[in-house]
Amino acid sequence: MFPPKSALTLWAIFLAASLLLGVNIVLAASIGEMRIPFVITLQSIAHGLGVSDVSLDPIQQGIIWQYRMSRALIAAFSGAGLALCGVVLQALLRNALAEPYVLGVSAGASTGAVSVMLVGVGGGAIGVSAGAFLGALMAFAIVMFLASGVRRGVTRVILAGVAAAQLFNAITAWLVSTSANAEQSRSIMFWLLGSLGGVRWSDVELAAVVVSVGFVLCFYFARTMDAFAFGEDAAASLGVSVRGVRAVLLILTALITATLVSIVGAVGFVGLVIPHAARFLIGPGHVRLLPATALIGANFMVLSDIVSRVIVAQQTLPIGVVTALFGAPAFALILYRVRTEE
């Protein structure tokens, strides 16, 4: 059955994944500390969407729409965005382990965000997201610099990423320990692990715009990413302007990563695991792979969020903890496969 041969099967899979995403989002909105009947959940969502004017308890409606729905949508957009970044980086760097978290880009974005939040870098002229973007670009620059020179091996890029992640995590820890009070450092450390707590509708709007525009631009380059399968020279000999495409796509992934990090913190492994799962299901062609990755990523993240809220009674785990619980073993598995193939 996989990968699907006919276009019909493919559309059926996409349709099923989209429906599943809708169901998961409704499910995520119906689960929480306060028990709210499922019917009320549906009515609240319908009300929020403006398709129903049933009168509801404003508190329940507020919890569903303002709190849980925004959270579920942020989970969906960040899952889609991070998975998208992963698939783009894996194609571009020809590296099965590439993703923003492993490459230290998330760490760079965290450092950028923290330095704006705590130290006031930029004197209020730049926001947290912009700070995260600069941090992410800096991390990319460091990784590309460390990994350039010799022929880019799988391990070299990953080692460069580890170095960058260590460096930026150290800077972040240093900033937090010297500039934050106890309350601030607790909330920042929680956010750094990846947390969906306290997101607002304005965050949803930002994530929606950045991830959607990012997706459209990446999709425009889908076939170009196919051309990278046999390396940069092969791509160039197929008519791709390698430098230009690489610059555009790296900046784009930095932008998506930075936006998501500034909202939900550094959530790891989504960008690693989801593209591999999607490739397994749908095949290696990027025209199909990009939408599949985004859809599966969104589903995965919404489900992870549900797990993070129900796995320990009366407590919410940081979502980064849940994704890492799935992601770390998957990372090991992929690493093992890459090694045996080399």
Partner 1 sequence: MNIEGRELSWTRQHQRIVDGVTLAVGPGETLGLIGPNGSGKSSLLHLMAGLRRPSGGRVYLDHEPIDGLSRRQVAQKVALVAQHSTTDADLRVEEVVRLGRIPHRGPLQGWTRSDVEHVEQALVQAGLVVLRHRRWHTLSGGERQRTQLARAMAQQPGVLLLDEPTNHLDIQHQLDLLTRVRALATSNIIALHDLNLAAMFCDRLVVLSEGQLVAQGAPEDVLTPALIWRIYGVDAAVERSPHHGKAQVHYLV
* Beta carbon of residue 155, minimum distance to partner 1 (angstroms, whole number): 14
Question: Roughly what angle, to the nearest 10 degrees, separates helices 70-93 and 270-282?
Answer: 70
- For position 62 contacting partner 1 by CB under 8 A, the verdict is no
Both tokens assigned to 71:
């959270």
Stretch 89-108 residues interacting with partner 1 (CB under 8 A): 94, 96
Among candidates 80, 124, 69, 132, which has minimal Cα distance to 105?
A: 132
C-beta closer to partner 1: residue 89 or 301: 89
C-beta closer to partner 1: residue 96 or 107: 96
Q: Phi first, then psi: give them for residue 248, nearest 5 degrees.
A: -60, -45
Among candidates 282, 287, 260, 286, which has minimal Cα distance to 271?
A: 260
C-beta closer to partner 1: residue 186 or 223: 223
H helices of 94-241, where?
105-114, 128-147, 154-179, 182-192, 201-220, 222-227, 232-237
- For position 187 contacting partner 1 by CB under 8 A, the verdict is no
C-beta closer to partner 1: residue 183 or 233: 233
Block residue for tokens 């990446």: 218
* Beta carbon of residue 327, minimum distance to partner 1 (angstroms, whole number): 20
Q: Could you give the 3-state DSSP secondary structure of residue 206? A: helix
Binding mask of the shown chain, residues 213 to 252, with x at each position contacting partner 1 by CB under 8 A = -------xxxxx-xx-xxx-xx-xxxxxx-----------
- For position 204 contacting partner 1 by CB under 8 A, the verdict is no
Size of interface with partner 1, in residues (CB under 8 A): 26
Among candidates 186, 212, 243, 266, which has minimal Cα distance to 80?
A: 212
C-beta closer to partner 1: residue 99 or 203: 99
- For position 282 contacting partner 1 by CB under 8 A, the verdict is no
Kindly list the residues in this chain that would bind partner 1 in the complex (CB under 8 A): 94, 96, 220-224, 226-227, 229-231, 233-234, 236-241, 279, 283-285, 338, 341
